[in-house]
Structures are given as structure tokens and as C-alpha cells.
Amino acid sequence: MPKRSSLDAVIVGAGVVGAACAYYATRAGLRVAVIDRGSVAGGTTGAGEGNLLVSDKEAGPELDLALLSAGLWRELAAALPHEIEYEDKGGLVVAPDEASLEALRSFAKGQRAAGVTAVEAGAGDLRELEPHLAPGLAGGFHYPQDAQVQPAQAAARLLAASAAEGALVHLGEEVTGLVVERGTVRGVRTRTRELLAPAVVNAAGTWGGRIAELAGTTLPVLPRRGFVLVTEPLPRVVRHKVYAADYIADVASGSAALQSSAVVEGTPSGPVLIGATRERVGFDRSLSVAALRRLASQAAALFPVLADVRVLRTYHGFRPYLPDHLPAIGPDPRVPGLLHACGHEGAGIGLAPATGVLIAAALSGAEPPLDPAPFKPDRPFGREPGPQGQQP
């Protein structure tokens, strides 16, 4: 097999992060292969809502990554087919009372310093931005940079665009081992063959810990379950991504107990999506009635008109998170030849392009557009309690 000479990298995982890595690596002139045991978008990508958010991130490295990504998504919206349903609809974070509005103000202040556009909306402005919002809210912030894509389409079109430029795509083929020579990763092994390359990119999302293990190292990626409710198709009753202020606290939280605050939004095809809960229960696929209750009651509290619509379906996914809630991006100094691009928790769709650009830069030796140090895969992770879950 001539693979040794022809491939520059093997990317494990055909979710949106793996697809974005392939896209930017291919554009950097590298020859890559993407391999996944299932379909494109078969894991967390396919269970996501397609949030491209800056509004929920406090000033810091993740926000920098999100801002870089927001710009890249705008470019991608022009370059990729319209089926990715990119929509720069903006986000609206509402505060039920004066105290949470004050908390939002100081949160937004830090974000503005980092380059986020955050416009305070008074109680009257809220009704103008979202006519169906419940009365009595104290106010909120409008984030015009928040946007949305259809995540499965986004991953599929990124991958198809890479394939058109020469990337190889091997779906339905599971990586069963890594080829390691004298401590250096040289490729991946499947049931039927080896794919050799000087670099292997771990973009296996929630299953990223297992790929690290196959390489003889560790990455403490854990699943965090989330439910989404999907209503019957409705006329446009929700215009932005709307959520309550406590969502921001949830994202940064380390608690294993159920937390949720409904993010409510309309979709181009009509249904309203209501997400998302965050629970650490391992890979538990059973229905959580408590999660559905919270999502539904919070959505109805934000938009009373939704109380009388029907929920057609619910689905769940497992967000891949690392203990400090930052992704692992870049070369793993412990295992030469291994790079990581996983652990994006609930922000993988939004952060995928910036991750792809950082990985492409690491592979080609180019200057990265931002400092990747905070995402170093071998940074110290404190231990935290919580069920690990069996990897299915």
C-alpha cells in the first residue's frame, strides 16, 4: 500500500469537528483521510441544535475561539451549499429580575472587551425583538453575532467539500488500534487494514478518551447528556435564540445534578427547538421525564404561547466534556504524532472551524491565528466526581 507516502494525517471522527479539520487541512494543501465507525454526524453532531454562540461564553480562551469561529462560519456560509442553513439570527438572553440583569451586565462587559457585540435591551425592547415573550421580564441582552447552522448538513458539506479537494473518507470502518512505533503514532488500524500517516487527529468527540487510550495515553473526556424537545411546525413565533440568564451559569458549572434552562428557537422548517439539559449520567439512553418537565416549563415560562403546542419528539445526545470545560486542541506532547481535537462539550458545532484551523496550522507548521496554549491536551485536569458511564 502506498499510504505511507501519500497521507499527511488520518482524522478519526466524521463529526463536525473532524470534518472541519479535514476541510482546513485540505485547504492547507495536506492530504488527509477521515475515518469513522459510523455515518457522518453519527455522534454528538447529529444530536446537536447547531448553536453558534458567543453569548454564553465568558471572556477567556473559549470566547476567543468562538469569536474566531463566528467569522469562519460566515465565510463557510458563503462557500458551502445553502443546505447548511446558516442563519445569523442573533441571540437574546433575558433576565427575569433586576438581580440577574445586573449579573448579565457585568458578564457582557467582559465579553465586550473581548470583541463581542452585546446590546442591552430594556423590558420594552424585548417585546419588539420577540413579540411572544412573557411579560414581566426585567430586560436582557441582544447578541447579534450568535448564529445557527443545521449541524448534520454542516458536517456533511464540510466533508464533501474536503473530499472534492482530495480528502479520503472512510465511513463505517472502526479504528481498532493505533500504529505506534517507538512511542510515535504512525497511523491507525482497522479490522481490515492499516492507514499510515505521520499524524493522527483524535476528533472522536465523546469517544475521544478511547482513542487516547489506544495511543497509550489519557484524555478524560466524559459524556454529559442533554435532551432537546421538538414541537410541531409553527409559523415564526421565535425569532432569535432565546434563553434565560441562568444558562450561562450552567455552562460554567461543575455540578453533576440536572441543570437546565431552556434555549428556545425557531427553525427554517417550522418546528421550535427547546434545549438543552445538562446531566452527567454516563451513556444512559433512557428517557428522563424530569428533564422534559424542566425544558417544557421553562419554555412555557419564556413563551406562554408554546404551552398549547404539541411536542412531536424528543432526542438526546452526549456532549463530550473535559473537567475544565475547555476542549483539547493540538499535538499531545506525551505521544508524538497524536493530535487531539475533542472535548468541545455543547459548543462543538460553533467551535469546529476554529478547531480545524488550529489543527491545520499544527499539521502544516503554520502560525496559528490564536494562542493554542489554553487547549493543550496534557494540561492538568483536576479529578472530579461523577459517573463515568460505559462507553457503548
Partner 1 sequence: MPTSPSDPSSQEPSVPGPVVPGPAGLGRALPGSADCGPAVPDLAVVGAGPAGLAAAVTAARLGLRVALLDAGERPGGQFYRRPAPGLGAVRPESLHHGWAAFAAREAALRTHESAGRITYFPAHHVWTVVPDGGRWTLHAVAGPEERSVSVGARAVLLATGAYERQLPFPGWTLPGVVGAGGAQAMLKGGLVLPGKRVVVAGSGPLLLAVAGSLAAAGAAVPAVVEAASYTAYAGRLPDLLRNPGKLAEGATYGGALLRHGVRLLTRHAVTEAHGRDRVEAVTVARLGGDWRPLPGTGRRIPCDALAVGHGLVPQLELATALGCATRSGEDGTVALELDAGQRTSVPGIWSAGETGGIGGAQLALAEGELAAFSVAGRPAPAALVRRRSRLRAFAGAMAAAHRPGEGWTGWLREDTDVCRCEEVPAGRILEATRDLGARDARTVKLLTRAGMGWCQGRMCGPAVAALAGETSSAAGAAPDRRPLSCPVPLRHLAELPQHTD
**Residue 27 Cβ, how far from partner 1 at the closest point, in Å?**
19
Identified binder of partner 1 from the candidate list 299, 326, 328, 351, rule CB under 8 A: 299
Q: Is 289 in the site for partner 1 (CB under 8 A)?
A: yes
Q: Is 242 in the site for partner 1 (CB under 8 A)?
A: no
Relative to beta strand 51-52, strand 32-36 is unpaired
Q: State which of positions 12-31 bind partner 1 (CB under 8 A).
A: 14
Q: Is 281 in the site for partner 1 (CB under 8 A)?
A: no
Q: What nine digits make up the cell of 99?
A: 438581580
Q: Is 286 in the site for partner 1 (CB under 8 A)?
A: yes
- In the bound state with partner 1, the residue whose beta carbon lies nearer, of 33 and 63, is 33
Identified binder of partner 1 from the candidate list 7, 9, 41, 328, rule CB under 8 A: 41
Choose the stretch contacting partner 1; rule: CB under 8 A; options: 37-45, 234-242, 317-325, 375-383: 37-45
**Residue 98 Cβ, how far from partner 1 at the closest point, in Å?**
26
- Quick one: DSSP state of residue 322? -
- Cα–chain center distance at 271: 21
CB 138 within 8 A of CB 100: yes
Nearest CA to 211 out of 391, 30, 19 is that of 391
Q: Is 295 in the site for partner 1 (CB under 8 A)?
A: yes
Q: Is 214 in the site for partner 1 (CB under 8 A)?
A: no
**Residue 62 Cβ, how far from partner 1 at the closest point, in Å?**
26
Q: What nine digits make up the cell of 268?
A: 427554517
Q: Exposed e or buried b for every residue in 222-247, given b needs 16+ CB within 10 A?
A: bbbbbbbbbbeebeebbebbbbbbbb
- In the bound state with partner 1, the residue whose beta carbon lies nearer, of 15 and 139, is 15
Q: State which of positions 311-330 bind partner 1 (CB under 8 A).
A: 311-316
CB 95 within 8 A of CB 138: yes
Identified binder of partner 1 from the candidate list 79, 99, 252, 307, rule CB under 8 A: 307
Choose the stretch contacting partner 1; rule: CB under 8 A; options: 69-77, 112-120, 156-164, 190-198: 156-164
Choose the stretch contacting partner 1; rule: CB under 8 A; options: 174-182, 187-195, 284-292, 378-386: 284-292
Choose the stretch contacting partner 1; rule: CB under 8 A; options: 24-32, 104-112, 124-132, 302-310: 302-310
- In the bound state with partner 1, the residue whose beta carbon lies nearer, of 159 and 338, is 159
For 115: left if phi > 0, alpha if psi spans -120 to 50, otherwise beta; the answer is left
Rounded alpha-carbon distances, angstroms, from residue 123 to 99, 100, 101, 135:
14, 13, 11, 8
Q: Is 84 in the site for partner 1 (CB under 8 A)?
A: no
How many residues bind to partner 1 according to rule CB under 8 A?
A: 46
Backbone angles phi, psi at 7, to 5 degrees: -100, 140
Identified binder of partner 1 from the candidate list 18, 46, 187, 220, rule CB under 8 A: 46
Contact partners, residue 54, CB within 8 Å, separation at least 6? 63, 66, 67, 70, 91, 111, 116, 143, 145, 146
Three-class DSSP category at 330 = strand
Within 13 Å, how many C-alpha atoms sit on residue 365's CB side?
1
Q: Is the peptide bond before 41 cis (omega within 30 degrees of 0)?
A: no
Q: Is 288 in the site for partner 1 (CB under 8 A)?
A: yes
Q: Is 160 in the site for partner 1 (CB under 8 A)?
A: yes
Identified binder of partner 1 from the candidate list 115, 296, 368, 378, rule CB under 8 A: 296
Choose the stretch contacting partner 1; rule: CB under 8 A; options: 153-161, 195-203, 337-345, 350-358: 153-161
* DSSP letter string, 154-211: HHHHHHHHHHHTT-EEEES----EEEEETTEEEEEE-SS-EEE-S-EEE--GGGHHHH
Q: Is 391 in the site for partner 1 (CB under 8 A)?
A: no
* Separation CA 373–CA 50 (nearest Å): 26
Identified binder of partner 1 from the candidate list 231, 260, 261, 355, rule CB under 8 A: 231
Chain position carrying cell 467582559: 110
**Residue 75 Cβ, how far from partner 1 at the closest point, in Å?**
21
Interface residues with partner 1 (CB under 8 A)? 14, 38-42, 46, 152-153, 156-157, 159-160, 169, 171-172, 229, 231-232, 269, 271, 285-293, 295-297, 299-300, 306-316
